[in-house]
Amino acid sequence: MSAEPHRCEDGTCITCGDVAVPLRVVSLDGERGLALCEDGAGRRETVEVALVAPVAPGEELLVHAGTAIAKSPSENQRVRLASAGPSGARTQGGRIAALFGRLRTPQRAASAAARRARRFSDGL
Amino acid sequence: MKYVEEFRDPALGRALSAQILSLVEPGRHYKLMEVCGGHTHTIYKYGIDDLLPENVELVHGPGCPVCVIPMGRVDDGIAIAEREGVIFACFGDMMRVPGSRGTLLEAKAAGADVRVVYSPLDALRLAKANPERDVVFFAIGFETTAPSTALTLKRARAEGVENFLCMCSHVTIVPPLRALLDSPGFELDGFVGPGHVATIVGLRPFEFVPAEYGRPFVASGFEPLDVLQSIEMILRQLAAGRAAVENQYTRVVPYEGNPAALRAMEEVFEPRPEFEWRGMGTIPESALRIAGEYAELDAERRYPPPGERVADPRECQCGEVLKGAIKPWECRVFGTSCTPEHAIGACMVSPEGACAAYYNFGRLARRREPV
State which residues form the domain around A100. Answer: 80-122
Answer whether the bond into residue B305 is a cis peptide, omega within 30°.
no
Residue of A nearest to B224 (CA): A120
CATH number at residue A18: 2.30.30.140
Q: What is the pLDDT of residues B63-104, one digit of tens each?
A: 888 888 888 999 999 999 999 999 999 998 789 888 888 999
DSSP, collapsed to helix, strand or coil, labels residue B54 as coil
Say which of B15, B148, B253 has its CB closest to residue A64. Answer: B148
- Kindly state whether residue A15 falls inside one of the protein's structural domains: yes
A68: β partners: A63
- Kindly state whether residue A96 falls inside one of the protein's structural domains: yes
- Kindly state whether residue A34 falls inside one of the protein's structural domains: yes
- For residue B236, which of B15, B21, B51 has the smallest C-alpha distance? B21
- Kindly state whether residue A4 falls inside one of the protein's structural domains: no
Residue A62 sits in the same domain as residue A110: no
Conformation bin of residue B286: beta by default, left when phi > 0, alpha when psi is -120 to 50 = alpha
CA B214/CA B313 separation, integer angstroms: 36
Structure confidence at residue A31 (pLDDT)? 86
What ipTM was reported for this prediction? 0.88
Residue A67 sits in the same domain as residue A84: no
pLDDT over threshold 90, residue A123: no
Residue A23 sits in the same domain as residue A53: yes
CA B20/CA B121 separation, integer angstroms: 43
Reported confidence tier of residue A94, pLDDT bands at 50, 70, 90: very low
Residue A29 sits in the same domain as residue A57: yes
Reported confidence tier of residue B247, pLDDT bands at 50, 70, 90: very high
pLDDT: which is higher, A121 or B267: B267
Residue A57 sits in the same domain as residue A97: no
- Kindly state whether residue A3 falls inside one of the protein's structural domains: no
Say which of B3, B12, B140 has its CB closest to residue A85. Answer: B12
Percent of chain B with pLDDT over 70: 95
Structure confidence at residue B340 (pLDDT)? 83
Reported confidence tier of residue B9, pLDDT bands at 50, 70, 90: confident
Structure confidence at residue A77 (pLDDT)? 54
CA B280/CA B303 separation, integer angstroms: 27
Distance from the Cα of A70 to chain B's closest Cα (Å) equals 7
- Kindly state whether residue A100 falls inside one of the protein's structural domains: yes
CB atoms A18 and B199 under 8 Å: no
Residue A114 sits in the same domain as residue A90: yes
Q: What is the pLDDT of residues A96-116, one digit of tens each?
A: 333 322 322 233 333 444 444
- The answer to whether B70 touches B98, Cβ cutoff 8 Å, is no
Residue A91 sits in the same domain as residue A63: no
pLDDT: which is higher, B343 or A75: B343
- Domain tally, chain A: 2
Structure confidence at residue B275 (pLDDT)? 94
Q: What is the pLDDT of residues A24-56, one digit of tens each?
A: 999 999 889 999 999 989 999 999 999 999 999
What value does the mean pLDDT take over residues A55-72?
94
Say which of A18, A85, A100 has its CB closest to residue B196. Answer: A18
What value does the mean pLDDT take over residues B224-234?
94
| Portion 22-81 of A in contact with B at CB < 8 A | 22, 40, 45-46, 48, 50-51, 53, 60, 62, 64-67, 69-70, 73-74, 77-78, 81
Beta pairing class for B274-277 and B269-271:
unpaired
CB atoms B145 and A51 under 8 Å: no
Is A12 an interface residue toward B (CB < 8 Å)?
yes
CA B253/CA B36 separation, integer angstroms: 15
Residue A57 sits in the same domain as residue A88: no
According to the 3-state scheme, what is the secondary structure of B301-352?
HHCCCCCCCCCCCCCCCHHHHHCCCCCHHHCCCECCCECCCCCCCHHHHCCC
Using the 8-state DSSP alphabet, how is residue B176 labeled?
A: H
Residue A26 sits in the same domain as residue A67: yes
Domains and CATH numbers, chain B: 2-64+183-240 (3.40.50.11750), 71-171+257-302 (3.40.50.11740), 318-360 (no CATH)
CA B98/CA B82 separation, integer angstroms: 16
Query: Per mean pLDDT, which range of B142-146, B174-178, B346-350 is the poorest?
Result: B346-350
Residue A106 sits in the same domain as residue A56: no
- Kindly state whether residue A36 falls inside one of the protein's structural domains: yes
CA B350/CA B96 separation, integer angstroms: 8
First-last CA distance in chain B: 30
Chain A residues with CB under 8 Å of B5 CB are 124
Structure confidence at residue A80 (pLDDT)? 45
Task: Number of A to B CB contacts under 8 A, please give it.
Answer: 217
- Kindly state whether residue A28 falls inside one of the protein's structural domains: yes
Structure confidence at residue B147 (pLDDT)? 96
pLDDT over threshold 60, residue B129: yes
* The total number of residues written for chain B in this structure: 371
Residue A66 sits in the same domain as residue A99: no
What value does the mean pLDDT take over residues A6-11?
41
Residue A13 sits in the same domain as residue A62: yes
